Amino acid sequence: MIYQRNLNFAQEQDEQDALRHLRSEFLFPRHNNQAAIYLCGNSLGLQPHSAKHYIQQQLNYWEHYAVEGWFNGEAPWLSYHKQLLPVLAGLLGTSEKEITVMNSLTINLHLLMVSFYKPDHKRYKIIMEAGAFPSDQYAVESQVRFHGFNPKDAIIEVSPRPGEVTLHTQDIIEAIEDNADETALVLFSGINYYTGQLFDMQAITKAGHKAGALVGFDLAHAAGNVALKLHDWDADFACWCSYKYLNSGPGGISGVFVHEKHFDNPKLNRFAGWWGYRRDKQFLMQQGFDPEMGAQGWSVSTSPIILMAMHKASLDIFEKAGGIKPLRAKGDQLTAYLEFLINDINRECGEEIFRIITPKNISERGSQLSVICARDAKAIFNYLAENGIIGDWREPDVIRLSPVPLYNSFTDVYQAAECLLKAVSSS
C-alpha cells in the first residue's frame, strides 16, 4: 500500500475496512465531550459494550439460582470456562484441552514453573531476555532462590548488541547453545513489552529442546495481538493475561497452555487444588489428587465467573472478527501507517525527533510502536494526553502507541500523528 499523510486518505481506508463495524462494539473514554483517540490497548484494552450485559446476566443467575447456579441456567458455572476455549484455542494455536482460564498472569507463571522448572545440580539455569517485564524478572528470581540457587549465577539474560535495542534471534540461539548443558528452562516473552519486538518462538523452542531444556512463554503482549501456533511450535507451556489486547477488564482473568505431550507425565510436580481434580469424580471428595486430563488439571481455585463473563464478552467479538488472521492483516496496515506518518514528520522537521525502536519487519512486531523522543519527551507525551490522545509512557523517554485493529481506525492513527507534530512545535 502507498500511504499518504492526509485526512482524506485515512478516511478512505476506513471506508474500505471490512472490520470497521467492530469499533462500535467498544466504549471509548471521553475527552472534551467526544471520544478520545485510544492507542493504549497494549496496556489495557477498551471495554466492550456487551460486558455490562454479560456481568448482569451472571448477577441475575446468582440472584435467581444462588448456589444452584453452578448446575443450572443456560451456562452453569461449573463448566462456564468451556465456552471460552474454542475462540481462545484459535487465537493461540492450540487444542481446547491444552488451555484453560484461571487466576492472574504471574500466579500462573509461578504455578507453571512449579511443573516446568526442575533444577538439579547440573541443570539449573534459566535463559530469558534482558529487559523482560519486571513481574517475570521477580518471579524467576524468586523461583531460583526457592530452589536454593543464586540468581546471579542461575539466570542468564540475553541482551541487545552494543548500540542496539532489540535482540537478534541468532544471539538467543547462541546463548542457549553456549549454556546447553546447564540450562533447565528457556523462558521468553512472546513480545517484549518495552520495544514491542515479537520473538521467533518457534526457533527459540527448537533451540531450547535441542539443548535438553524445557521452553515456556509469557504471552501478555502477544495473546489476541499476533498469530500464535503454540501446539505446532511445540512449546512446553505458556501463560497470558486477558486485559490488554484481549479486552477483558483491568486485572482480568489469565490463562495457561500446557502441551498435550505432558498430560501423562507423572514426574511433573504441580500445586494442586480441588478445581483441578478430575471432573467425573470431583464431588466424591476423595483424598489423593487425581488431576483432570489436560490443562484443566493445573487449575487450583474455583472459577471467578464474573471475570470469565467479561472475558467472554470480548472473545465473542473476536469470533465476529473471524479470528486473528483478518485482525492481524488490519493491525499490520495500521501499524505501518503510523510508522509512515512518524517518519514523514521526522522528514518535515529535518531531524529524527522520533526514533522507532520496534522492529520494522512486520513479522517481528504486532500492533505496537515504541518511540524514543529525542527531546522534551515527557512534555510531548503530556501534550498528547491533553489533546485526547491516550498512549503509554515508559521512562525515561519512550512513548508506546498501539493501534488495535478491533477498535482503532486509520483516522485515529492520522490524528495522533498530527498531534505529535503539534506537540513538537509547542514543546
> What CATH code is carried by the domain that includes residue 204?
3.40.640.10
Q: Does residue 45 form part of some domain?
A: no
Among 290, 292, 323, which Cα is nearest to 405's? 323
Q: How many domains does the chain have?
A: 2
* Cα torsion 306, 245, 257, 167: sign: negative
Q: Does residue 43 form part of some domain?
A: no
In a shared domain, residues 233 and 375: no
Show the CA angle centred on residue 190, arms to residues 188 and 194, nearest 5°: 90
Copy the grid coordinates of residue 253. Answer: 482473568
Q: Does residue 328 form part of some domain?
A: yes
In a shared domain, residues 282 and 237: yes
What's the CA gap between 378 and 73, in Å, rounded?
51
Residue with grid cell 520496534, as numbered in its chain: 358
In a shared domain, residues 186 and 79: yes
Question: Residue 120 has what pLDDT?
Answer: 96
In a shared domain, residues 62 and 193: yes
CATH code assigned at 406: 3.90.1150.10
In a shared domain, residues 263 and 353: no
Pairing mode, if any, of strands 237-240 and 255-258? antiparallel
What's the CA gap between 5 and 338, in Å, rounded?
10
Contacts of 211 (CB under 8 A, 6+ apart): 176, 177, 179, 180, 183, 186
Enumerate residue ranges in the chain where pLDDT < 50.
Answer: none
In a shared domain, residues 309 and 245: yes
Please report, as a single letter, which amino acid is at residue 102.
M
In a shared domain, residues 15 and 82: no
In a shared domain, residues 203 and 184: yes
What's the CA gap between 196 and 191, in Å, rounded?
6
Q: Does residue 48 form part of some domain?
A: no
Please give the residue range of the domain that contains residue 177. Answer: 55-320
Q: Does residue 50 form part of some domain?
A: no
By the 8 A CB rule, do 37 and 415 touch? yes
What's the CA gap between 335 and 344, in Å, rounded?
14
In a shared domain, residues 213 and 261: yes
Q: Does residue 41 form part of some domain?
A: no
Q: Does residue 1 form part of some domain?
A: no
Q: Which of 266, 295, 320 is the last residue of a domain?
A: 320
Q: Which of 320, 348, 383 is the last residue of a domain?
A: 320
Q: Quick one: DSSP state of residue 350?
A: T
Q: Does residue 46 form part of some domain?
A: no
Q: Is residue 360 packed enough to be buried (19+ CB in 10 Å), middle (13-18) or exposed (0-12)?
A: exposed
In a shared domain, residues 166 and 273: yes
Question: Residue 1 has what pLDDT?
Answer: 81
pLDDT digits (tens, 9 = 90+) for 11-65: 999 999 999 999 999 999 999 999 999 999 999 999 999 999 999 999 999 999 9
DSSP string, 141-176: HHHHHHTT--HHHHEEEE-PPTT-SSPPHHHHHHHH
In a shared domain, residues 270 and 215: yes
In a shared domain, residues 60 and 72: yes
By the 8 A CB rule, do 130 and 255 touch? no
Question: Residue 266 has what pLDDT?
Answer: 83
Show the CA angle centred on residue 418, arms to residues 415 and 423, nearest 5°: 125
Copy the grid coordinates of residue 42. Answer: 497494549
Q: Which of 286, 320, 354 is the last residue of a domain?
A: 320
What's the CA gap between 245 and 421, in Å, rounded?
27
Rounded to two decimals, the pTM is: 0.96
Question: Residue 21 has what pLDDT?
Answer: 98
Copy the grid coordinates of residue 67. Answer: 448456589
